[in-house]
Structure 1
Amino acid sequence: GNRGAFDAGGRSMGMSIFLPFEEAPNPYITPELCFQFHYFAIRKMHFLMRAVALVSFPGGLGTLDELFEVLTLTQTRKIRRRPIVLVGRDFWQRLIDFDVLVEHGVISPEDKNLFHYAETAEEAWDAIKAAYSGDNPALTARQLKGN
């Protein structure tokens, strides 16, 4: 996202975290919009306070941590509902078998409606736009405004 904004001449913000193996934040973040954190929990809280959607690309443990936090808080209605888009269906379905979770009764079948899959940026954007359209019963205006 930061690279796309940079390439298009736009501005973008970033929330970096100080890590011993990373020398600097993403170089495509607009410098005055680069916020650095020491703790993951505080960074996630700030992301969630501002996010209107979550788009997750294949990633490692940090990506999974953020994804499961948002899914759990959404499922338990501790945060307002927002679109959650997983880019790369094959990756995500191989990594997380939501059907097995339903079969074992640890999530409900409706929980699979908390997210959408997308293969392209256009599909992800379409899912976000659809979530905020008046035609989506899964995300009512009340839920989107913070219920």
Structure 2
Amino acid sequence: MPTQDNAMPDSTAQKESPSYRLAALDPDFLLGDSMRGARFMLEYQKAEDLLRARGIVSTIVVFGSARVREGNRWYEAAREFARIASERGGALAPKDAGRNHVIATGGGPGIMEAANRGATEAGALSIGFNITLPHEQEPNAWSTPDLTFRFHYFAMRKMHLAMRAAALVVFPGGFGTLDELFEIMTLVQTGKMGRVPIVLFDSAYWKGLLNLDTMAQAGFIRPEDLKLFAYADTPEAAYQCIVDGAGDGWASPGNGSVQT
């Protein structure tokens, strides 16, 4: 309204109002409950654009404990496996030819660091799909910088881990490792994902931890579901499981992706 001397007020209050902000630049709006769906979409698209820009066709997902350190036998085995897979699986191909069997991890320390490191030492790209946690996870220093992502939503991170997976290699680990293992096994079992090699590294550890025969005997899974995975005790044997699986009617690179 005009002032007493009929001078028009300036529009400072209007410009400073949150309602005046451009929607795309308004953090209060973007981070509000009503925009959760849009944030979910953005997490998908940002990673997807960067993966495509690098010509990533398929991945080998490597998971395992974040608590092991350099020198540990599992750390060194994961490092060696990732080097072998990167050298032999197509990760070193030119971008325009499409890069297959690129190592992808959860981006953190331990086994994930070891796998990213082995790929980098082979001269290949590697992916780190990090997640925001209450106790902040730092990305390891070995994933390719422009393929190092951070997700808020576990569901979207899981989707990206599964979408291009041509194989899953699971080293000894805890709850998070089991989560990723059973996620992929369930997708394959239910037909939501093409059959891909699932390799459990260190048969003594996994056989001591899991007795899946109990599920089959109780009728909760089919006997043939016990063939969804294989055991390996050396990096060479783990990669051979992938080679053998790809030649045995399992999903070829790029065809094991989750149905979308």
Give the TM interval when normalised to the shorter protein: 0.7 to 0.9
Per-residue displacement from partner, 1:106-143 (whole Å, max 9, x unpaired)? 1111001000001111111001011112xx25x276xx
Q: How many angstroms does 1:145 deviate by? A: 6.1
Give the 3 Å change call, closer, same or farther, for CA 41–140 of structure 1 in structure 2: closer
Structure number with greater Rg is: 2
Matched to 1:31, the amino acid is P
Per the TM alignment, residue 9 of structure 1 is displaced from its structure 2 partner at its CA by: 3.2
What does residue 3 of structure 1 align with?
117
Aligned-pair identity in percent equals 50
Counterpart CA distance in 2 for 1:145 and 1:97 is 26
**Residues 23 and 78 (structure 1 numbering): CA distance in 2 closer, same or farther, change over 3 Å?**
closer
Cα shift at 1:103: 1.3
Deviating above 3 A after TM superposition, structure 1's stretches of 4 or more consecutive aligned residues are 144-147
Q: In structure 2, what is the equivalent of residue 81 of structure 1?
A: 195
1:125 aligns with 2:232: no
The CA distance in 2 between the partners of 1:68 and 1:145, in whole Å, is: 16
1:95-114 equivalences under 5 Å are: 95-114=209-228
Q: Structure 1 residues 70, 60: closer, same or farther in 2, change over 3 A?
A: same
**Equivalent residue for 2:144, pick from 20, 23, 30:** 30
Q: Structure 2, unaligned stretches of length 5 or more?
A: 1-114
* Residues 1:19 and 2:133 aligned together: yes
Opposite residue 187 of structure 2, the aligned amino acid is L
What does the per-residue CA deviation read over 1:29-81, in whole Å, with 9 as the maximum and x for residues that have no partner? 11111011112111110111011101111111111111111111111111111
Displacement, 1:4? 0.4
TM (norm. structure 1) is: 0.88
Report how far residue 98 of structure 1 moved.
1.1
User: Matches of 1:39 and 1:66 in 2, distance apart?
Assistant: 15
Cα distance in 2, alignment partners of residues 118 and 145 from structure 1: 21
Unaligned stretches of 5+ in structure 1?
none
Matching residue of 1:58? 172
Rounded to whole Å, the distance in 2 between the matches of 1:32 and 1:19 is 21
Distance 1:4 1:101, change over 3 A: same
Distance 1:88 1:22, change over 3 A: farther
Match of 1:47 among 149, 161, 173: 161
One-letter identity of the residue aligned with 1:98:
L
What is the alpha-carbon distance in structure 2 between the residues aligned to residue 22 and residue 91 of structure 1? 29
6-15 vs 58-67, greater mean Cα deviation:
6-15
CA distance in 2, matches of 1:140, 1:78: 13
Q: What is the TM-score when the length of structure 2 is the normalising length? A: 0.51
Deviation at 1:2, TM superposition (A): 0.4
